[in-house]
Amino acid sequence: MFSPAGNPHSFFHPNVDAIVSCFQNPDMQLSQIDCLAVAYNRNEVKKLQNELEELDIKKDIAIARIKHLDKMAETRQKSWWESIEQLSADEVTDFEAWLNATSSKMRQHLNQLENGASTSLG
């Protein structure tokens, strides 16, 4: 049996007597205990299949995340940090203004956090 992703899996019926009986006497009905065992085992197999599918999904998500992070790291290496010397005077001025605005926003946020912490203590 293969998963939707094409990975091979094998599931078996642990009640060998029930399987052998089916081949020896095809018209014979399973006993109530065998029916319960078959239903229980089928349910367990479904649970395991669902878990396997969830793990496959999580694996695919993790792989996609790793690829995304690798791409981000690659982009980061090509970012403006390395090419700042190649900026024109206007671009340097714009970049400096952006840095100042970001620094101001960070100080503002830090002050809000500090004020929030001091009011919650008092």
List per-residue pLDDT tens for the chain, 122 residues long: 566 777 766 655 556 676 677 677 767 777 788 778 888 988 999 999 999 999 999 999 999 999 888 887 776 655 555 567 777 888 888 888 989 999 999 999 999 898 876 665 55
pLDDT for 51: 95
User: Are 63 and 109 in the same domain?
Assistant: no
User: Are 20 and 68 in the same domain?
Assistant: yes
User: Are 15 and 72 in the same domain?
Assistant: yes
User: Are 89 and 113 in the same domain?
Assistant: yes
Strand, coil or helix: what is 87? coil
pLDDT for 29: 77
User: Are 65 and 6 in the same domain?
Assistant: yes
The model carries a pTM of: 0.41
User: Are 59 and 10 in the same domain?
Assistant: yes
Strand, coil or helix: what is 9? coil
pLDDT for 53: 95
Overall size of the chain counted in residues? 122
User: Are 64 and 24 in the same domain?
Assistant: yes
- The whole domain housing 115 covers 85-122
Contact residues for 1 (Cβ-Cβ < 8 A; gap 6+): 8, 9, 10, 11
CA dist., res. 57 & res. 3, Å (int): 12
In the chain, the number of structural domains is 2
